[in-house]
A and B are shown apart, each in its own frame.
Chain A
């Protein structure tokens, strides 16, 4: 592995991953609303239409159900489609295709057909896009057997998980948090595929485990930094793969720290955070030294005004407060 790094953004890392896939495999194509001439609503595919042409960068009608279904058909027919859905909110229009078809066809055909489809979608709040473009419904997809759900948060994962997802014989939902696209950082010049199984320990610590994913990762790392200033060593775990969950990494951390707080931009009720908490209770109850804590979004449709949107989302101060509560100080 090269030590040479390049300065890049999450958006560019995703674009590089798409280009890499298009270059590697003739069967790969990208389709979605405004991905072609417009360059994607978050400008991820900017320039690709000119580079790869309309056959491989395909604009679709405004019909999530239609083009997601077309993607499933193409995948079953031997292609390796990347379907882009503008936001997770719009993916609800395609829920029938995703849950009733993509997730079930291998099962219902007795293993004769599989759906090697990747659906990318933006999720999360923070850009004042209000209540119909800002939600975090990763937990809903995490509920469904038959699909894999991943949420790359770092540049390495944004660059590397798409290819692994395309290699997977089953449908993979890939979430890109909207607040990550502009995040800048260093990425090794030859960064390559990253497995789509397993959580990652992003910061080691012994006093408590902060478990998160996606857009909350960097808030959580900031919180850990703040806690460190007070002599509290928090371990930060990036789940990355929301289905299947990597229980082993979570439990190993909890067995070490005896305390856990889960940070999840989804709503608390019925959330992924609830699932992780339940698993900790099932698998590491006797290790716990405090109740498992959760920091989630306020149970409201995400508000439009900036100050209310900020208030509704998990923030660094909330994470620090929950960590302190778990530690009793």
Chain B
């Protein structure tokens, strides 16, 4: 019996999503965690993943359809049940098929399949952009036809309407359609993101009784440690203080489960795993806080690599669904912006957010003497329904201790 894949919720503020493309075709195998489709949300185009091993079944919605969360998108068949079906061509498992292709083309020496031919004399700065007319794109979207599979016969080799109609015969005689709403645009829609942020933050300030605590933390030891560690490393392998903050928060949270999890209709649902959302600004406005999964169990280099990767994908698109929906707490660091401290707003349904200001040289008292130390102001905003200031204060104190001993991070 087949199962269905439903439009996932990629955040408590998401009501619906638009299918942009299928990552798999019917008959292809999916392992748990594989991307099945790309969905457009107010946060941009997100790759959504399957939660089970399965074989891609019949699509139940069309590309371009906007459907509410929970709507069945495609059938999923158990592994094995679909083995008899005609296998689909896929670059990854297409060894024999590629051979067939090469034989058909009469090519004596097949090139490595993962080495795309360099585009000869292509003046386009973005060679991945498929030249296709607006009319062709619209029909392809309506018909669920992948433009990448078509060969263009129009001006300059562009894919034109006739090429798509040839691939969708039942539409060959389609009468001219009335002007209608343009199809949804893939990629990041900053206006929609602004709306999403507005909705989430309004809900947060309306529903969540925040309490705020601040603690100045001596960061001299950690700063020196970081400088020594980075001294001989090339820039792309250096650690940033932000990674230390995330790791320290994650480790400290192990002892403060009431700050790590979700509010579910007023009841607290703690999370065993610690997925730290790293608030990341988007050029042009807006921000997202995608998860660094199991941040407490990653070593610093791995965590840093994740962080770099996330920031790159926030700016270039391609965040995964789990990265948006999974954070159990958020860390927001405005260190580079030069503020002393920030009072952050909790991102529902999370119950806490930790903020870091700019580390600065400040007068600090050690053993009754005033000395100059590098100090950062850490803040905690937490949901008073699920924790109290007493525990919050202990959390910040433990966090401060953690940061005194970077070797343990």
Contacts and interface: CB of A to CB of B under 8 A. Distances in A.
Contacts, number: 51
A219 interface: no
Interface in A246-265: 251, 255-256, 258
Interface of B: 133-138, 153-156, 158, 160-162, 176-179, 182-183
A contact residues, range = 10 to 19
A289 B135 contact: yes
B179 A284 contact: yes
26 contacts: A251-B179, A255-B176, A255-B177, A255-B179, A256-B176, A283-B179, A285-B134, A285-B182, A286-B135, A286-B179, A286-B183, A287-B134, A288-B135, A289-B133, A289-B134, A289-B136, A289-B161, A289-B162, A290-B133, A290-B155, A290-B158, A290-B160, A325-B155, A328-B154, A328-B158, A328-B160
Contacts of A256: 176
A251 B176 CA distance: 11
Interface of A: 251, 255-256, 258, 283-291, 325-328
A289 B154 CA distance: 8
Given A286-B138, A288-B133, A258 B179 contact: no
By Cβ-Cβ distance, the 4 closest A-B pairs, closest first, are A328-B155, A328-B154, A289-B133, A255-B176
A284 B133 CA distance: 12
Nearest to A257: B176
Contacts of B176: 255-256, 287
B155 A286 contact: no
A287 B135 contact: yes
Nearest to A254: B176
A231 B177 CA distance: 24
Contacts of A291: 155
Contacts of A251: 179
Contact of B134 (A286, A326, A328): A286
Contacts of A283: 179
Contacts of A326: 155
A191 to B, nearest CB: 33
A258 B133 CA distance: 10
Contacts of B156: 328
A251 to B, nearest CB: 8
A327 B162 CA distance: 11
Contacts of A258: 133, 135, 161
Contacts of B179: 251, 255, 283-284, 286-287
Nearest to A293: B155
Contacts of A285: 134, 182
B148 to A, nearest CB: 19
A312 B138 CA distance: 38
A145 to B, nearest CB: 25
A283 B153 CA distance: 25
Nearest to B177: A255
A201 to B, nearest CB: 15
A325 B134 CA distance: 17
